[in-house]
């Protein structure tokens, strides 16, 4: 049976910036006259030197991706200064604090420019120069965005590390991108709790000699310990600089930022995005994907530590001169109506959040939503993981009162911005299906041998040609970039996701086909969690798999073999759970630690993950072929000791 199709409510489809026929024409044009299309789109940005070429790329035999390569521009100018000139009094950012009783803050574009330029001068005072990598480890406060834009202004390359990551994770990322500068805050506030960011920084830096200067934004009471000569309060340095700081002319292909993301093997990789292509891609996908209008108030709930926070908090909205809301807290603090209270208080028109948040809020029923006036909403979006049709319907019917379109946007850290979605005014919606390709995107499904599949089909999701927002490399390891994304299927970018396509060309993402987990919309490599586990002195071996979780999408199930002589105990389970938390961060906390004396292995010693996955999923009636196992009894013992309900 095919899934139901839901038309966009007629009132919502009126006067959007792209109708169904506009989409068809523009999409065809974007593929047939790609060069022309992209050079026209480039007009969305202010260029110091206009590009005369659009794409110049190859996926094989070597991967080399360039867009607008003879163009020059500055990303900060495009996100801040040009609007400070055109619409100085328009609100750029509204800051909603964790505690609703605290004062919020607001910045017009003119004020944003002053803040960012001053921040950039502070960085220069500390010695940051063009091309330097600056690590940003911040809570969700406006200064996180100022810091990113300040880097862009002076040509430094930011590497934002999510504030929920541990000191070890922070240290690894600082070292990997050879970053000598760090921007942080004394503390972060989330859900009424305090995150000791500066303490984490001190712990990370005690293990690496790398960082020369730490700039500290005061969020708490200012009592954080400061190391003389290394640590500086932003307000102190800021007092000595002015807000006049020119935007550095950058080549389109100069790096804009590095962002670490998990893969199926090894340590997280530093995905590198460059200036012109990325900025244009986020600007264009924001404008079309959210049908942006001048009087919108856009609220993206993602943290700046993830790509969604880069593309649709920092760059996309600001490149469009939009007004947006930044929220410091979490959906259920002080109560589970917080999102709706914010929507009502500020008159949010577009809400962009993750299925995990939707499922968690749905579990609390309709009353918290209905308590608040949501008449300002005109568009709802989701991102980060597959959304189950039930959660989609609740989002659409309860939150959106059935009058608001929902866009389910599929994309990745590596794609820079939205790749698959329906457009609010153009396309019918299909709960659970992301939809159609964005302009310039040519998706392709292939079978496991790389054979392209036609028509309605299910397979591995690849992209055929390059697009401006595509990542250019893995910092310091281009071979890994080529290997990870371009070697599985020759001549194609492989996303790592499986997908279905229906007869209308809509795509539905079925989930990762590699060893990457998606827990509450956060990407995590099973290999990363395994490495953390085996670091513990009591652990001999570990195998980590995902299992379906009703709220988080996927949960983390760890099979662990302790060293000989170490007892299997509840205490050890707790210790290991805590150990992973402190090695990687709270997002990686295992749901289950299953201690076992042995793991199912082939005779050649390979762990049979397929079987471990089935046991974790409680699908033990369909274990498949176990005849190649060295010791089939291990499986029975694991089934008997399975964790979870």
Contacts with ligand 6R9 by CB under 6 A lie at 261, 306-308, 383-386, 408-413, 434, 495-497, 509, 512, 518, 523
Is 353 annotated as contributing to ligand binding?
Answer: no
Of 167 and 469, which has the nearer Cβ to ligand 6R9? 469
Query: Which candidate, 550, 509, 475, places its Cα nearest to that of 158?
Result: 475
**CA 117 and chain centroid, separation:** 26
- Across the chain, which distance is largest between two alpha carbons, in Å? 73
Q: In angstroms, what CA-CA distances link 265 with 532, 538, 585?
A: 13, 23, 18
Is 8 part of any known ligand binding site?
no
Q: Which secondary-structure segment (H or E) carries 615?
A: helix 609-616
Cα 215 from Cα 221, distance rounded (Å): 16
Distances from the Cα of 400 to the Cαs of 287, 345, 410, 511, in angstroms? 21, 17, 20, 26
Contact by Cβ (8 Å): 122, 114:
no
Give me 594's structure tokens.
């299953």
Nearer to ligand 6R9, 71 or 386 (CB): 386
Task: List the one residue out of 213, 242, 239 whose CA is nearest residue 227.
Answer: 213
Is 409 labelled as part of a ligand binding site? yes
Quote the radius of gyration of the chain (alpha carbons, Å). Answer: 24
Q: Is 545 known as a binding-site position? A: no
Q: Of the two residues 411 and 493, which places its CB atom closer to ligand 6R9 in the complex?
A: 411
Give min distance, CB of 263 to ligand 6R9, in A: 10
Tell me how far, at minimum, the Cβ of 509 lies from ligand 6R9, in Å. 4
- State which residue, 329 or 496, has the beta carbon closest to ligand 6R9: 496
Tell me how far, at minimum, the Cβ of 306 lies from ligand 6R9, in Å: 6
| Nearest by Cα to 424 from 404, 398, 399, 394 | 404
CB of 487 to ligand 6R9, least distance (A): 17
To ligand 6R9, the closest distance from the beta carbon of 236 in angstroms equals 36
Please, which residue, 216 or 361, has the CB nearer to ligand 6R9?
Answer: 361
Task: Select 152 or 307, whichever has its Cβ closest to ligand 6R9.
Answer: 307
> What is the crossing angle of helices 570-583 and 167-176, to 10°?
40
The owner of tokens 């990997």 is: 176
Is 534 annotated in some ligand binding site? yes
> Is 190 within any annotated ligand binding site?
yes
Neighbours of 189 (CB within 10 A): 21
CB of 522 to ligand 6R9, least distance (A): 7
Shortest Å, Cβ 517 to ligand 6R9? 10
For the record, the structure tokens of 512 come out as 């990762």
Nearer to ligand 6R9, 247 or 391 (CB): 391
* 550 annotated among ligand-binding-site residues: no
Kindly state the smallest distance separating residue 417's Cβ from ligand 6R9, in Å. Answer: 9
Q: Name the residue nearer to ligand 6R9 (CB basis): 259 or 580.
A: 259
What is the Cα–Cα distance from 643 to 548, expressed in whole angstroms? 13
- At closest approach, how far in Å is the CB of 4 from ligand 6R9? 18
Instruction: Give the shortest CB-117-to-ligand 6R9 separation in angstroms.
Output: 30
Question: How many whole angstroms separate alpha carbon 379 and alpha carbon 169?
Answer: 36
Q: Is 392 annotated as a binding residue?
A: no
Instruction: Identify the sign of the CA torsion 640, 547, 507, 6.
Output: positive
Structure tokens at 302: 């993602």
Residue 413 is assigned to a ligand binding site: yes
Integer CA distances (angstroms), 437 to 28, 410, 501, in order: 11, 9, 11
422 annotated as a binding-site residue: no
Name the residue nearer to ligand 6R9 (CB basis): 135 or 353.
353
549 is in an annotated binding site: no
Residue showing tokens 């940005």: 45
Nearer to ligand 6R9 (CB atom), residue 284 or residue 593: 284
Would you say 201 is a known binding-site residue?
no
Q: Is 7 exposed, middle or buried (0-12, 13-18, 19+ CB in 10 A)?
A: exposed
Structure token pair of residue 380: 């709802």
Instruction: Please state the residue numbers annotated as binding site for ATP.
Output: 384-386, 408-413, 497, 512, 523
Residues of the binding site for CoA:
190-193, 308, 332, 520, 581
Annotated binding residues for Mg(2+), written as ranges, equal 534, 536, 539
């Amino acid at each position: 049976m095919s899934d139901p199709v839901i038309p966009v409510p007629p009132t919502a489809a009126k006067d959007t910036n792209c109708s169904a026929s506009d989409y068809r024409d523009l999409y065809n044009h974007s593929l047939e006259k790609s060069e022309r299309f992209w050079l026209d789109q480039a007009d969305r940005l202010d260029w110091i030197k206009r590009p005369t070429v659009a794409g110049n790329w190859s996926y094989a035999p070597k991967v080399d991706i360039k867009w607008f390569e003879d163009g020059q521009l500055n990303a900060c100018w495009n996100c801040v200064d040009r609007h400070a000139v055109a619409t100085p009094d328009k609100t750029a950012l509204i800051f909603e604090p964790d505690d609703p009783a605290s004062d919020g803050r607001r910045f017009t574009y003119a004020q944003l420019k002053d803040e960012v330029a001053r921040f950039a001068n502070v960085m220069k005072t500390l010695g940051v120069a063009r091309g330097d990598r600056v690590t940003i480890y911040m809570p969700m406060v406006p200064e996180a965005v100022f810091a990113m834009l300040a880097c862009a202004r002076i040509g430094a390359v930011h590497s934002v590390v999510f504030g929920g990551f541990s000191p070890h994770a922070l240290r690894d990322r600082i070292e990997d991108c050879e970053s000598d500068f760090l921007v942080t805050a004394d503390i972060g506030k989330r859900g009424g709790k305090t995150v000791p960011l500066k303490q984490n920084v001190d712990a990370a830096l005690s293990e690496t000699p790398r960082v020369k200067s730490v700039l500290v934004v005061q969020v708490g009471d200012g009592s954080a310990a400061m190391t003389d000569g290394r640590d500086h309060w932003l307000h102190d340095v800021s007092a000595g600089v002015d807000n006049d700081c020119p935007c550095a002319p950058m080549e389109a292909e100069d790096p804009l930022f590095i962002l670490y993301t998990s893969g199926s093997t090894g340590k997280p990789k530093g995905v590198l995005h460059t200036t012109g292509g990325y900025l244009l891609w986020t600007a264009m996908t924001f404008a079309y994907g959210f049908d942006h209008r001048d009087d919108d108030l856009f609220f993206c709930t993602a943290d700046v530590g993830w790509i969604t926070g880069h593309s649709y908090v920092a760059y996309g909205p600001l490149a469009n001169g939009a007004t947006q809301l930044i929220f410091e807290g979490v959906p259920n603090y002080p109560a589970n109506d917080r999102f709706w209270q914010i929507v009502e208080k500020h008159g949010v028109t577009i809400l962009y959040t993750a299925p995990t948040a939707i499922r968690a809020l749905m579990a609390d029923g309709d009353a918290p939503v209905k308590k608040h006036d949501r008449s300002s909403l005109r568009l709802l979006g989701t991102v980060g993981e597959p959304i189950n049709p039930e959660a989609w319907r609740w989002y659409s019917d309860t939150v959106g009162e059935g009058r608001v379109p929902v866009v389910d946007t599929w994309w990745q850290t590596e794609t820079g911005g939205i790749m698959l979605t329906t457009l609010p005014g153009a396309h019918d919606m299909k709960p659970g299906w992301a939809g159609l390709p964005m302009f310039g995107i040519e998706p392709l499904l292939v079978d496991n041998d790389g054979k392209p599949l036609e028509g309605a089909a299910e397979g591995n999701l690849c992209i055929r040609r390059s697009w401006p927002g595509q990542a250019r490399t893995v910092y310091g390891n281009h071979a890994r970039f080529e290997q990870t994304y371009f070697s599985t299927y020759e001549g194609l970018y492989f996303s790592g996701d499986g997908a279905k396509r229906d007869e209308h060309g809509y795509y539905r993402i079925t989930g990762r086909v590699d060893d990457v987990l998606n827990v509450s919309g956060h990407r995590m490599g099973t290999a990363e969690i395994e490495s953390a586990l085996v670091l513990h002195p009591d652990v001999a071996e570990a195998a980590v798999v995902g299992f379906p979780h009703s709220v988080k999408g996927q949960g983390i199930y760890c099979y662990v073999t302790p060293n000989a002589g170490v007892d299997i105990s509840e205490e050890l389970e707790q210790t290991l759970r805590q150990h992973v938390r402190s090695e990687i961060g709270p997002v990686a906390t295992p749901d289950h630690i299953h201690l076992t004396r042995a793991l199912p292995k082939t005779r050649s010693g390979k762990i049979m993950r397929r079987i471990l996955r089935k046991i974790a999923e409680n699908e033990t009636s369909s274990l498949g072929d176990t005849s190649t196992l060295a010791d089939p009894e291990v499986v029975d013992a694991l089934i008997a000791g399975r964790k979870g309900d």
